[in-house]
Amino acid sequence: MGPVALPAWLQPRYRKNAYLFMYYLIQFCGHSWIFTNMTVRFFSFGKDSMVDTFYAIGLVMQLCQSVSLLELLHIYVGIESNHLLPRFLQLTERVIVLFMVITSQEEVQEKYVVCVLFIFWNLLDMVRYTYSMLSVIGISYAVLTWFSQTLWMPIYPLCVLAEAFTIYQSLPYFESFGTYSTKMPFDLSICFPYVLKIYLMMLFVGMYFTYNHLYSERRDILRVFPNKKKM
């Protein structure tokens, strides 16, 4: 007797795709809830809703961004085919701005730029996770493919500008409260505002690298997609 074929649901490829589909679905639901919540609050309360955006959706945003760190593991073990360094840079931007800057300073949480930044982040992620979720089960639409590979072109630089402005607005508070600044032996000290100023310059260098990578990826995907439709 020949080898017995495993049921489809036991095959490694099926399990990997099922896991990725569930991961993308959870992330899509989380970011959709945040975006919908922010939209409804804005139309209900106007500009006043922007001040307490973080208090309303900050916990869910932190959860979604924390879970997104799994994507680095996905790439490292090979269940996602993305490049590690560009994704690492994108996730690092968000982790630093969300957890180290916004979360640690209550005064920054009330700034309008936080609301704008969250809108940009969630808009990108809703489209990205929708595209990834459908792609993993073999469904592709020309409009969605083009949209997911084009939306980031204006939005991603605006995200970086909003992140940089958030950091800039946080500097006086870090200087006043001394958050994360520490004194070390031998009259040495770490002044966190200076660290943030250095990071501001690195942020735009990283944006240039990531933008070039995403543009090359977009060109390759849109070049291949018409050929897939003909097959």
pLDDT tens by residue, 111-120:
999 999 999 9
Work out the average pLDDT over 195-203.
Answer: 93
Q: How far apart are CA 98 and CA 167, in angstroms?
A: 10
**Strand ranges, E, within the chain:** 182-184, 188-190
pLDDT of residue 87: 93
Residue 15: the pLDDT is 86
Residue 161 CB partners (closer than 8 Å, separation 6+) = none
Please state the domain extents for the chain: 10-225
Q: Is the dihedral of CA 110, 57, 102, 150 positive or negative?
A: negative
- Categorize the per-residue pLDDT at 187 as very low, low, confident or very high, splitting at 50, 70 and 90: low
Which tens digit of pLDDT belongs to each residue from 49-77?
A: 898 899 999 999 999 999 999 999 999 99
Q: Please list, in sequence order, all residues whose beta carbon lies within 8 angstroms of the beta carbon of residue 70, skipping any fewer than 6 positions away.
A: 23
Quick one: pLDDT at residue 4?
47
Largest CA distance in the chain: 78
What number is the average pLDDT over the span 172-185? Answer: 80
Tell me how far the alpha carbon of residue 29 is from its chain's centroid: 14
Rounded to 5°, the CA angle 148-152-158 comes to 155
pTM for this predicted structure: 0.88
Residues assigned a catalytic role: 156, 163
pLDDT in tens, 118-156: 999 999 999 999 999 999 998 889 999 999 999 999 999
